[in-house]
Amino acid sequence: MNLISDTIAAIATPLGEGGLAVLRVSGPQALAVADTVFVPVGKTSLTPSAAASHTIHYGRIERDGRFVDEVLVSVLRAPRTFTREDTVEISCHGGLLPAKLVLDSLLAAGARPAGPGEFTQRAFLNGRLDLAQAEAVADLIHARTELALAAAGEQLAGKLSQRINQLRDDLVKTLAHIEAHIDFPDEDIAPDTRGQLLARLERGVAFMDELLRTADEGQILRRGIRAAIIGRPNAGKSSLLNQLLGHDRAIVSPIAGTTRDTIEETANIRGLPVVFVDTAGLRESGDSIELEGIRRTRAMVAKAELVLHVLDASEPVSAEDEQFLAEFAGKKRIVVWNKADLLERRSPTRGEPSAPSEERAGSETGAPVAVSCLTGAGFEALKDAIKQTIWAGEIRAEMLQVMINSRHQDALQRARAATVRTHDALAANATLELVALDLRIAVHAVGEIVGKTTTEDLLDSIFSQFCIGK
């Protein structure tokens, strides 16, 4: 079936109880499908096919003459719609059953269920968005911080696409020049012209390098980083998690070994999404359940990009602390001295807790941070340390305009390699057919980013990650 020849429908809001649910219908028969199920109520309400574009009409949904729900219907005529197709949006009462019954009525009237991301895919196929902008729609939906939302908004507005298109245009101009000389082999490329072409290729490589440097930051904004909270039982790991989240998520108990499994929650740390993982306490144990928790802790640390190693500031560093500090010394790490409030109240005769030996402390980022989970002291400094460890320097507004994702990174790496080969071959007076071959590879790879060169498999891979109804 031709993707654009049929009409699709889906629930566009999350399933579950709520005040309202919204359904979308898009395609050449969207108005006719809506006509079949919608009964206008009142003097000013009209059937969708009789209504003007961008108007809202009150009525009810009926199926086989039976009342389904009381609704508002928005009529949006092509091309001034998200998909550039005729579109109807139906607002019905929230809750799983009302939305499902309205959707069933639309499907019985001739629509088919939309696949994941199919509305956005149609927006791309109909020229409403390029592929980078379409990906930004998913980034907007999944954004967990204001910075991530701002970056997605810049990409949706076309800031990245503008720069990619300029890069591609420059490569295409160079390719056209080279192919012109292939067509007229008796005319050699003049030295000045060759120099200009080489300079343009060099600028292209430099620009690709600039974009590639944003890949890590882009990944952080989109998916966040994983930070494992580790330490001995009763060091205050669960209390630390609760303080960082701003609410009680983990059970806190004076009984050692309360946490037997990992707990994951995301927090906004200075504008960056951080997935904190509270882990089972590290110690030697004969308890099989606790041993499994410790095994999972080690597995979680292996996957984490940052470790918060919590030590009890009210006690000297133990041999077990030293052991685990050494075991995880290769990870990017912040040592956190917890229970600083007890340290302040302790008797002068007891002295300060001994610091971990330098050779075992490893290369944790910056100085250890002292906090009190009881009073909240030190947590602003800890958040600053986490942010600086994840993202050094200031987060500037212009940086958010060109945050590439992993797909863009792969395409740019292939484009850069092909452009470098083109430059070197042209500088060495190689056969122009070989020069053009590599430059075509570069043009194709850059075009993949905005969708000027795509495959069906690529589109399926991208849009399958979207939610249904978007």
The model's pLDDT over 407-430, given as tens digits with 9 standing for 90+, comes to 999 999 999 999 999 999 999 988
Largest CA distance in the chain: 94
Structure tokens at 200: 């343009």
What value, to the nearest 5°, has the Cα angle with vertex 351 and ends 346 and 352?
A: 90
pLDDT at position 95 is: 86
Please say if the pLDDT value at position 251 is more than 90. no
- Return the higher-pLDDT residue of 8 and 217: 8
CB 20 within 8 A of CB 100: no
Of the candidates 37, 29, 33, which has an alpha carbon nearest to the alpha carbon of residue 4? 29
Domain 8-114 coded CATH 3.40.190.10: no
pLDDT at position 185 is: 66
Of the candidates 294, 319, 295, 288, which has an alpha carbon nearest to the alpha carbon of residue 237? 294
- The Cα 270–Cα 387 span in angstroms is 6
Tens of pLDDT along 129-178?
Answer: 999 999 999 899 888 888 888 888 999 999 999 999 999 999 999 999 89
Question: Of the spans 50-59, 132-141, 181-190, 375-384, which averages the highest pLDDT?
Answer: 50-59
Please say if the pLDDT value at position 343 is more than 70. no
Non-local (6+) Cβ contacts of 224 within 8 A are 144, 266, 272, 273, 274, 275
Pairing status of strand 333-338 against strand 306-312:
parallel
- Return the higher-pLDDT residue of 413 and 320: 413
pLDDT at position 282 is: 64
- The counts of H helices and E strands in the chain are 17, 13
Half-sphere CA count of 96, side-chain side, radius 13 A? 2
- Return the higher-pLDDT residue of 106 and 457: 106
Please say if the pLDDT value at position 61 is more than 80. yes
Residue 231, SS3 per DSSP:
strand
pLDDT at position 291 is: 66
CB 141 within 8 A of CB 467: yes
Every domain of the chain with CATH number 3.30.1360.120 lies at 8-114
Please say if the pLDDT value at position 288 is more than 70. no
- What homologous superfamily does CATH list for 224-390? P-loop containing nucleotide triphosphate hydrolases (3.40.50.300)
pLDDT at position 1 is: 36
* CA distances, 326 to each of 98, 110, 320, 356, 363 (Å): 58, 65, 10, 10, 10
pLDDT at position 287 is: 54
Cis bond upstream, residue 79 (ω within 30): yes
Please say if the pLDDT value at position 292 is more than 50. yes
Taking residues 196-213, report their average pLDDT.
94
Looking at the chain, the whole-number percentage of residues with pLDDT higher than 90 is 48
Taking all residues of the chain, what is their mean pLDDT, rounded to a whole number?
Answer: 85
Please say if the pLDDT value at position 345 is more than 80. no
pLDDT at position 289 is: 61
- The Cα 251–Cα 239 span in angstroms is 8
Taking residues 107-118, report their average pLDDT.
95
Every domain of the chain with CATH number 3.40.50.300 lies at 224-390
Reported confidence tier of residue 323, pLDDT bands at 50, 70, 90: confident
pLDDT at position 192 is: 76
pTM: 0.76
Taking residues 326-336, report their average pLDDT.
85
- Return the higher-pLDDT residue of 214 and 101: 101
Of the candidates 116, 204, 127, which has an alpha carbon nearest to the alpha carbon of residue 452? 127
pLDDT at position 346 is: 47
Domain 134-214+403-463 coded CATH 1.20.120.430: yes
Q: Pinpoint the alpha helices (H) of 229-349.
A: 237-245, 288-303, 319-327, 340-345
Tens of pLDDT along 350-364?
Answer: 334 454 444 444 445
- The Cα 86–Cα 332 span in angstroms is 52
Reported confidence tier of residue 256, pLDDT bands at 50, 70, 90: very low
- Return the higher-pLDDT residue of 126 and 461: 126
Please say if the pLDDT value at position 191 is more than 90. no
pLDDT at position 353 is: 47
